[in-house]
């Protein structure tokens, strides 16, 4: 009696992962891994030259992404992913530099760096996985935690206002701003692909469950329940004014591409300024440095 040899199928995103570091540290139901899957698929669809892609992250649950992807990657200190990435981009303008980190790292201790990188329009691709809480350090209130949410530092509910991330980065000067959830995997991958083709400071917010601390403490169920919540509560409003997309605990979640505009990035501005100041001397110096 003949036996059928099972066909071993490999996940197409495995080529982008450091498989020797798997299994990962993320909790069951967390959406960070889902966002990485979309990121890998975007790399494929965009036909990115992986030798010219660098990924930078800070500290926190999402900060571990840099250690799992099979790219030139840099796991930096808390809140300092943006300045580190800026240095990479200015030193090698040919690099596609991606900053992949969490809401606490990017908008709390790193908020000042993010605002000024957007103001300067540094050519960085920023992916912010927002789980609305400080997940790695015990579930404390974060700058993104909506009102009335129970956290370890606000056991009777958060009362201080939360940042509206798309509104903040648009006001600071970002040229591309979008938001999706861990439920919207295809839309997220397409947005990431668009972001790769964009010149200037680009930002994508990815809403992600934290079943261990956020959902459990607020009696919102597990990761699957959160996917259903995202499906039921999300409304696609491409081009929506970012001032109208703030988040609440149980309210509507506005997703989509909100900003897609053009303005000179920091590299162009710096080049033009040096040409004006130094003329041919700058051109000769630049040519020599590229040999």
Domain locations in the chain as residue ranges: 14-260, 263-291
> What superfamily in CATH does domain 14-260 come from?
Thiamin diphosphate (ThDP)-binding fold, Pyr/PP domains (3.40.50.970)
| The CA-based dihedral angle spanning residues 100, 180, 96, 25, taken in that order and rounded to the nearest 10 degrees | 30
Cβ atoms < 10 Å from Cβ of 248:
13
For the chain, which ranges sit under pLDDT 50? 284-291
Residue 83 to residue 76: CA distance in whole angstroms: 10
If residue 172 lies in a helix (H) or strand (E), which one and from where to where?
helix 165-172
Q: Are 57 and 80 in contact (CB under 8 A)?
A: no
Point out which residues pair with 181 in neighbouring strands.
207
Sign for the pseudo-dihedral over CA of 112, 265, 204, 101: negative
Q: Taking a C-beta distance cutoff of 8 angstroms, is the pair 105, 78 a contact? A: yes
CA distance 283 to 278: 8
pLDDT in tens, 240-267: 999 999 999 999 999 999 999 999 999 8
pLDDT at position 3, please?
66
- CA-closest candidate to residue 35, choices 55, 53, 9: 55
Q: What is residue 289's predicted lDDT score, i.e. its pLDDT?
A: 43
What pLDDT does 255 receive? 98
Determine the pLDDT at residue 174. Answer: 98
């Amino acid at each position: 009696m003949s036996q059928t040899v099972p066909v071993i199928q490999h996940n197409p995103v495995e080529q982008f992962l450091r498989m020797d570091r798997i299994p990962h540290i993320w909790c069951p139901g967390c959406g960070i891994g889902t966002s990485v899957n979309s990121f890998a698929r975007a790399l494929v669809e965009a036909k990115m030259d992986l030798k010219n892609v660098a990924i930078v992250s800070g500290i926190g649950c999402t900060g571990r992404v840099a250690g799992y992807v099979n790219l030139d990657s840099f796991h930096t200190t808390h809140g300092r992913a943006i300045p580190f990435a800026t240095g990479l981009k200015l030193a090698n303008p040919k690099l596609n530099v991606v900053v992949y980190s969490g809401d606490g790292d990017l908008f709390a201790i790193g908020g000042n760096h993010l605002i000024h990188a957007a103001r300067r329009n540094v050519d960085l691709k920023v992916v912010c996985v927002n789980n609305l809480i400080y997940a790695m350090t015990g579930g404390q209130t974060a700058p993104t935690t909506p009102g009335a949410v129970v956290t370890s530092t606000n056991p009777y509910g958060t009362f201080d206002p939360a940042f509206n991330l798309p509104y903040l980065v648009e006001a600071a000067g970002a040229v591309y701003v979008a938001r999706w959830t861990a439920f919207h995997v295809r839309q997220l991958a397409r947005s990431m692909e668009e972001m790769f083709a964009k010149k200037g400071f680009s930002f994508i917010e990815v809403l992600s469950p934290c079943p261990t601390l956020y959902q459990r403490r607020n009696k919102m169920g597990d990761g699957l329940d959160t996917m259903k919540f995202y499906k039921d509560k999300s409304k696609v409003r491409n081009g929506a004014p970012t001032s109208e997309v703030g988040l609440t605990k149980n309210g509507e979640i506005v997703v989509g591409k909100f900003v897609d505009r053009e303005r000179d990035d920091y590299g162009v501005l710096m080049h033009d300024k040096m040409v004006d100041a130094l003329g041919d001397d700058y051109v000769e110096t630049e040519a020599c440095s590229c040999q």
